[in-house]
Structure 1
Amino acid sequence: MFDALQHLSFWNWLAFGTLLLILEVFGAGGYLLWIGLAAAAVGLLTYLIPDLHWTLQFVLFGVLAILTAVYWWRRQRTAAKPSDQPGLNQRGSELLGRTFTLHEAISGGRGKIKAGDSLWLVSGPELPAGSQVRVIGQDGVLLKVDAVP
C-alpha cells in the first residue's frame, strides 16, 4: 500500500477529481465540486512538480479542500440576501391593509370577499354580506379580516 502511495502520479489525482465531479452531478449540492477541483489542482501541481512527496500531496489536498469548502460556504452565505420584492410569489399579500365588501357573510368564522375577479376565503368575526372588512393578515390562501367601523 505504501508503495502505491509513494508512486502517486498526476493521473491518480485527476482520476480522483473526475470521480468526485461525477458524483457531484448526482446532487451533492456543490460540496464535491470544490473538493474535486482541489484534487485536480493537486494533480496539476504533481504534473508540474513530479518529485512532490506523497505526504505533501495529501497535505496540499487537505488544505485546498478546506479552503475551497470555506470559500463555497462563504459564497453561499453572501448569495442569500433578502429580496427587494418580499411579496413576490405570495398571492394575496398585496391585499393586506385594503378594504373590501363581503361577498358572502362570515358565519362560523368563514366567509368570502371579491378582490378583482377572484373570490377569496376569509376568516373573521361574524358579519353579514355587504359589510366592509379590512384584510389584516394571511394564512396560506385564507385571508384574515376585521370589520371596518
Structure 2
Amino acid sequence: MLAKIVAELGPWSWWVAGLVLLAAEMIVPGFFLVWIGLAALIVGALSLLFWDSAFWVWELQAILFALLAVATTFAGRRLTLRNSTTDEPFLNQRSASLVGRTATLHEPIREGRGRIRLDDTLWQVMGPDLPAGTQVKVVSSNGRDLTVEPVSV
C-alpha cells in the first residue's frame, strides 16, 4: 500500500512525509520532529529536481534523508541551545538558588548535620555543630544538602 502511494505521488511523497512530521510535532511534546520533517522537505525539493534522473533511486533518497535528518537535528539543537537564555538561571536548581540566603536553624547541627527552614521547606544542612535558633548563611549546595556557616554579627 505504501509503495502504491509513493508511486502515485512521485516526488511529492517526500513533501507529504515532511508535512506529516511537522503536523506530528504539534501533537507530540518536544521540539524534535520538526528537524526530521525539514530533512524530508529538503529531500522532497531535491526529488522535484532529480525525479527523472537515473541516479535518483529510492536507496539514495533514503540515505540522503537519514543523513539530512541527523544533520538538521544536530544543527537545530545547536541553534536552540545557543539562543536559550533565561532570566532565571536556577529555575530547576532550587538548592543552588538558596546560596547566600540566611536562615535560623530549625534543628541543631550535631555531628555536622542539622536542618533549616527556608520558605516552606525543611532542608538538610551540613556545617559546624551549632544550637537550634542560630542564624546561619547558606554558602554552597550539593544536591539536596546545603552547607552553612554561622552569621557573624
Q: TM-score, normalised by structure 2?
A: 0.63
Indicate the residue corresponding to 2:39 in structure 1: 35
What's the offset of the Cα at 1:76? 2.1
Computing the radius of gyration from Cα coordinates, the structure with the larger value is: 1
The aligned length equals: 137
Percent identity, aligned pairs only, is 35
CA contact (8 A) 1:42 1:57 kept: no
Letter in 1 for 2:91: L
What's the offset of the Cα at 1:93? 3.3
Are residues 14 and 121 of structure 1, via their aligned partners in 2, closer, same or farther at CA, if it must alter by over 3 Å? same
Alignment of 1:9-88 (within 5 A): 11-15=9-13, 29-30=32-33, 32-45=36-49, 52-55=52-55, 61=61, 70-80=71-81, 81-88=84-91
How well do the aligned residues superpose, as a CA RMSD in angstroms?
3.8
Measured in 2, the distance between the counterparts of 1:84 and 1:57 equals: 50
Q: TM-score, normalised by structure 1?
A: 0.64
Measured in 2, the distance between the counterparts of 1:89 and 1:64 equals: 36
Which moves more between the two structures, 104-113 or 75-84? 75-84
1:57-103 per-position Cα deviation (integer Å, ceiling 9, x unaligned): 78x95778766754543332121134332011322333211222211
1:22-47 per-position Cα deviation (integer Å, ceiling 9, x unaligned): 789699x445423322332233335x
Gaps of 5+ in 1: 1-7
Measured in 2, the distance between the counterparts of 1:32 and 1:75 equals: 10
Measured in 1, the distance between the counterparts of 2:8 and 2:149 equals: 71
Indicate the residue corresponding to 1:4 in structure 2: none
Secondary structure of the 1:55 match is: coil
